[in-house]
Amino acid sequence: MKGAALSPLGKLLRRPWYWFWHFLAKFFFQGRSYTIHVPFGDRVFTPWFDLDSSSNFAQIIRIVQANGPLVVSPDRCYLLYQLACQAAHLPGDMAECGVFTGGTAQILAEVLTRHHSSARLHLFDTFSGMPDTALPERDYHSPGDFSGTSLEFVRNRLRAYASSCEFHPGFMPDTFSEVVNVPQYSFVHIDVDIYLSVLACCEWFWPRLVPGGVMVFDDYGFYSYRHAAKAGVDEFFADKIEQSLVLPTGQALVIKSFSDNSEK
């Protein structure tokens, strides 16, 4: 397996490459609800670019961005938001594995608030950076990446949702022992980036997901995560009846079947 870490040249070119694409997106797409679908040329509905609108999603993104960093791109936030709204009508709590500075966690907390839900939002992270279990031959990230946060920062950011959020700081899967009494989940966002963490999250949450419940995996489709997030999801679901649905945003999602929870 070829190492996933970037070469020194790749690291050097990374920033200008993303600046270039951000410039294009800002210039041609931002503020428009219909944009061009690259590379097919169709004009398609892309509400995640129209963040000045009065839609619930645009309102939430403005609240989240006024409150702190949002590192996940708007198209992925939109999918997360829509899927969480659908799952908010199901029984069970919600969870996010991989919180960092709390951007996507705040979207989920807003969803629960706006649905007047009594479900809890469980938030799992070291809150001090990637653990030592990142594998150089698989993972794009190294131990200590994402250390620019703290439990205190995220708690403060989410203080308006204190009645629904439960923090579980520390290493997953060790911190799953704090939720042994939570019987079921309607929605789980897994944004942990590295192979062993993705597997650990699948093993804990999949058996506890209610039928119709959704697990969303960030980074699944990104090339740099092919041996990491994607490998973990593919390996875990290889013997399950459910199919992972790959999205053009780079995410993947899996919906728990109503008919059968057993393996293939």
The helix or strand, by DSSP H or E, that contains position 45, with its residue range, turns out to be strand 43-45
Q: Which of residues 186, 197, 244, 251 is near ligand SAM by CB under 6 A? A: 197
- Cβ atoms of 47 and 33 within 8 Å: the answer is yes
* 79 lies in the binding site for ligand SAM (CB under 6 A): no
Q: Which of residues 48, 87, 95, 98 is near ligand SAM by CB under 6 A? A: 98
* 103 lies in the binding site for ligand SAM (CB under 6 A): yes
User: To the nearest whole angstrom, how small is the minimum distance from the Cβ of residue 257 to ligand SAM?
Assistant: 26
The helix or strand, by DSSP H or E, that contains position 185, with its residue range, turns out to be strand 185-190
Report the residue number, 131 or 250, with the smaller CB distance to ligand SAM.
131
* 215 lies in the binding site for ligand SAM (CB under 6 A): no
* 193 lies in the binding site for ligand SAM (CB under 6 A): yes
Residue keyed to tokens 């109503």: 258
Q: Which of residues 58, 84, 101, 185 is near ligand SAM by CB under 6 A? A: 101
Measured CA to CA in angstroms, residue 219 lies from 157, 186, 191, 233, 250 at distances of 24, 21, 7, 11, 6
Beta strands in 105-164 (DSSP E): 121-125
According to DSSP, the β-strands at 93-97 and 43-45 are: unpaired
Q: Which of residues 83, 158, 194, 233 is near ligand SAM by CB under 6 A? A: 194
**Residue 237: both structure tokens together:** 């679901």
* 84 lies in the binding site for ligand SAM (CB under 6 A): no
**Residues contributing to the site for ligand SAM (CB under 6 A):** 71-72, 98-101, 103-104, 125-126, 129-131, 146, 171-172, 191-194, 197
